[in-house]
Amino acid sequence: MKSIGKALLWIAGIGILLLIPTAGGKIFDAVTSKMEEKEAAPIELKDINRAPAAEAASGNAEAAKERYLEGLKYFQASNYEKAEEEWLEAQELDPYNQQVQEGLKRIRAITAKDQPE
């Protein structure tokens, strides 16, 4: 019996909360009058895909890919110093390129083994 009373009380509370904004209270009236007084300014949308920053980012990504591939050639030829140089340049162009990050990790692991302790 108590649970039914609690449920009815809960439903009544939710009903009151839902009716407050539509009842024409002071807050509701104040907000609607402010909205009616002032017309919102139109919003101008820009095509961000054609923005200079987007073009530069895609150009950097392409240049970073080229540097990565050059570094990969050096890496496969066991010229780790040149591979690292290329991959560091690629990292500057695109710091979030995962292939470049993995390549640099591999070089560091290989060169760490070659150095005496």
What 8-state DSSP symbol labels residue 95?
Answer: T
Per-residue CA distances from 16 to 5, 10, 11, 20, 92 (Å) = 17, 10, 9, 6, 60
Q: What is the mean pLDDT of each run of 10 residues along the chain (117 residues)?
A: 77 68 62 66 69 62 93 95 95 91 94 74
What 8-state DSSP symbol labels residue 45?
Answer: P
Is 48 part of a structural domain of the chain? no
Structural domain including 76 reads 55-114
Is 45 part of a structural domain of the chain? no
Structure tokens at 51: 């923005």
pLDDT (0 to 100) of residue 60: 86
Same domain membership, residue 59 and residue 110: yes
Structure tokens at 23: 């009842």
Same domain membership, residue 90 and residue 61: yes
Same domain membership, residue 31 and residue 62: no
Domain count, the chain: 2
